[in-house]
Amino acid sequence: MKLTVASSPHIRGNFRTNRIMLDVVLALLPALGVGIGMLGIRALWVTLLCIAAAVGAELLYSLLTRTRNTVVDGSAVVTGLLLAMTLPASVPYWLAFVGSVFAIIVVKALCGGLGQNIFNPALAARAFMLLICPVGMVRYMALGVDGVSAATPLHHMVMPALPEESLLDMFLGNCPGSIGEISALALLLGGVYLVVRKVISVRIPAAYLGTVAVLTLVFHKTDAPLQWMLYSLLSGGVMLGAIFMATDYATSPATAKGQLLYGVGCGGLTVIFRYFGLFPEGVTYAILLMNACVWTLDRYTAPKRFGAKEGGAR
Amino acid sequence: MKHLFFGGIHPKYNKEMSTGVVQFQTIAPKQVVIPMQQHIGAPCVPLVQVGDTVRKGQKIGDGEGLCVPVHASVSGKVVAIEPRPHVSGRNVLAVVIKNDGKNEAAAPSIPTTDDEILHAIREAGIVGMGGAAFPGNVKALSAMGNVDTLIANACECEPYITADDSLLRTYPERVLSGMMILAKLLKPQRIVLAVEDNKQKAIDRLRDLFEQYPQVEICVLPTRYPQGSEKQLIQAVTGRQVPGGKLPVSVGCAVFNVSTYAAIHRAVVEGVALTERIVTVSGEAIAQPQNFIVPIGTPFHDLIEVAGGLHDRTERVISGGPMMGVAQSDLAVPVIKATNSVLCLLKDKNGAAENPVCLRCGKCVGVCPMRLQPLYMYRFTNAGRLDELRRLHLMDCMECGSCAFTCPGKLPLVEVFRQGKKLLREADAK
């Protein structure tokens, strides 16, 4: 009998990369469902195209570079899906395709692949798409009316004014917007699922949303601070960003304190970009900027090692 | 007041596999192989020659300095003195005794004064039986007058192993008596027997003896790996943290395994040397998992045979537990004083990935009981960055495997950390 001599530990937990990716996909399904239901079947075609393009790019890259086929880890599916969630349903198909390929090849693979990339692939691709075709990225369709573009709640808030939609409509997703961002309820459901499954901790979303809430409450732009705060939380990509984008493992800190600071930074920058930036939305650039700080945050928020506590000795 | 140690994991414990058999079966091997090195410190020098006849309990090896003697675990004839395979993976000089089955025992000697008790602990060859195998008399001597808390470690937090559990179920009074012997020497204010809450039968047996040993506090801790690690247990029992590179005595604590206390009881009260111990033979790849009383020096294959033999698809045989034990290639290796388990495992379905990838998920940081950052230790070991490894306190890692167990990317974390430590030691030696 040939016995294996390998390093301890000899048993492992059942936590696996592809299980995590599957959980993220499952967590996004409610938001995707609302997006398709409210924005029409084109939202589904855009999403499927993004996923197919991302997976295809991943496969092609591994074939061309003769490296291991990494499609099985499921991360390309997640990247394609996440990117689609940030896009308007009316986005040109070619743009969605180019963005997905950019996310996988340029942002992820060329940085060294899974876990090595500095920037969130979906958001970096979105920023790239805004750069090469702004028109395709900011045209949102009115609900239920074909071919008529509409102002999203965020467009009203830039004025500044409270959006036309009621808070309940915005919470449920009855408003124009990107495919995956319109229903806060669906996103929160997905977030709760991820926390329960221990895929993410609540630290980053809580710090992110909490910071946005406090800042918009204090620096409100209309004379209804509480409503302004709630609209700020429910509009645009804050929920999607806080729950699904800022929690991306590769581009967020690994330490607990680092995660809190990172969430606060994302929230603060989101509000600053929304208030002073060129675009109504600031989530993409807020998270991308914080992505660049992750290693520094981890380094300066390392947990105090065992035995280093003051008065640890008798 | 209860404390919690940092981090930790909840593996599947599988302890019920080996606790079904209540009666211990004592193993009578045909031959025993007694290594001259079964402890941390200097190896023993054989005191017998090939052809000599020895009695059970007779001292057959001893040495100078940090060293405790070894004894014949059966009576019979010395048939060889030569290097033999050892659980450490190296060949170690061993005295091989052919068992005559008579079990003729050496005459016991009973000590009375403190010095005599310390001497008896040494002469009985007692080492820490939880795995570290540090000479018991040396640890006791260094703790005399320096500790306020004496702890008996019955956590046995590694999955599968039930050796300490079955000891407590069967001979709880030996453990408690051993604790009182050391308490007499060390004079602590607090005497604690710490046990995890997944050993209810053992806890019941200990509580039955409360009236005889009212000074002993039974501390029941919520089950979590690696609670049985010395530093983590001290933190759980007292809230104190042993600083990096220091010993428990620096925070006023002394910890011994329950098997060690039982061996001290036998040495001091019965005058019997450490020649046998309880060993769990378990795992999915063994036919009849159970605990045995095993003479030191019994080859693993003898034990495995008595436990019904190995499964055809056995992948690993481990000396110790599944989290920190050492995988063996040669089943002729003998049980030594620190061997608490022979674990026979099939292929782990959650086992290593073909191409491990760090996702940076940070789970490893959350479970590290030493509050380190395994993901960066891994990255910087692979990059050979010794300055970063020092900053990250790689040497504080005790290789408990919590990070590797949890890692979804299945990184070989512990293996890489051993390499990193080696790099650091080599650099420091220059």
Name the residue type at position B115: D
User: Which parts of chain A sit beneath pLDDT 70?
Assistant: 144-148, 309-314
Separation in Å, CA of A63 to nearest CA in chain B:
16
Q: Which residues of A touch B369 (CB under 8 A)?
A: 306
Q: What values do phi and psi take at B59, rounded to 5?
A: -70, 125
Alpha helices, H only, B52-155: 114-123, 136-143
CB contact under 8 A, A7 and B242: no
- pLDDT for residue A100: 98
> CB-CB: which of B6, B324, B365 is closest to A254?
B365
Cβ proximity of B169 and B201 under 8 Å: yes
Closest-CA distance of chain B to residue A78, Å: 14
How far is C-alpha A154 from the chain's CA centre? 18
Cα angle A77, A81, A86; round to 5 = 155
CA dist A242 and A165 (Å) reads 22
Residues of A whose CB is below 8 A from B251 = 312-314
* Tens digit of each residue's pLDDT (9 = 90 or more) over B150-199: 999 999 999 999 999 999 999 999 999 999 999 999 999 999 999 999 99
B317 interaction partners in chain A (CB closer than 8 Å):
3
What is the per-residue pLDDT for B351?
A: 77
CA pair distance B112, B196, nearest whole angstrom: 34
Report how many Cβ contacts below 8 Å link chain A to chain B: 176
Separation of alpha carbons A18 and B421, rounded Å: 31
Question: What is the 8-class DSSP label of residue B286?
Answer: B
Dist CA A184 CA B416 (whole Å): 43
pLDDT tens-digit readout, B14-57? 998 888 765 677 888 999 999 999 999 999 999 999 999 999 99
Give whole-number Cα distances, B415 to A301, B352, B364, B407, in Å.
Answer: 26, 12, 15, 13
Query: Which of A5, A256, A305 is the closest to B244 by Cβ?
Result: A305
Which tokens in the block code for residue A190? 């997905």
Nearest Cβ partner for B348 among A10, A255, A307 = A10
Could A302 and B343 be called an inter-chain contact, meaning their C-beta atoms sit closer than 8 Å?
no
- DSSP three-state, residue A221: coil
pLDDT of B258 strictly over 90: yes
Averaged pLDDT score across all residues of chain B = 92
* Residue A32 contacts B, CB cutoff 8 Å: no
pLDDT attached to residue A312: 42
Three-state DSSP class for B218? strand
Q: Nearest Cβ partner of A304 from B231, B348, B371?
A: B371
| Alpha-carbon span A306 to A94, nearest angstrom | 54
Q: Are A255 and A296 in contact (CB under 8 A)?
A: no
This model of the complex carries an ipTM of 0.91
- What letter would DSSP give residue A309? S
Tell me the torsion sign for CA atoms A256, A261, A265, A271. positive
Asked if residues B356 and B410 have their Cβ atoms less than 8 Å apart, the reply is yes
Instruction: Select from A24, A66, A71, A305 the residue whose CB has the most chain B CBs within 10 Å, as the one to mutate to test that interface.
Output: A305
pLDDT tens readout for residues B260-308? 999 999 999 988 999 999 999 999 999 999 999 999 999 999 999 999 9
H-run or E-run covering A241:
none
Determine the pLDDT at residue A162: 86
Binding-face residues of A in 115-174 toward B, CB within 8 A: 115
Report pLDDT for B2.
65
Strands B25-26, B290-295: pairing kind: parallel
How many C-alpha atoms does B77 have within 13 Å on its Cβ side? 4
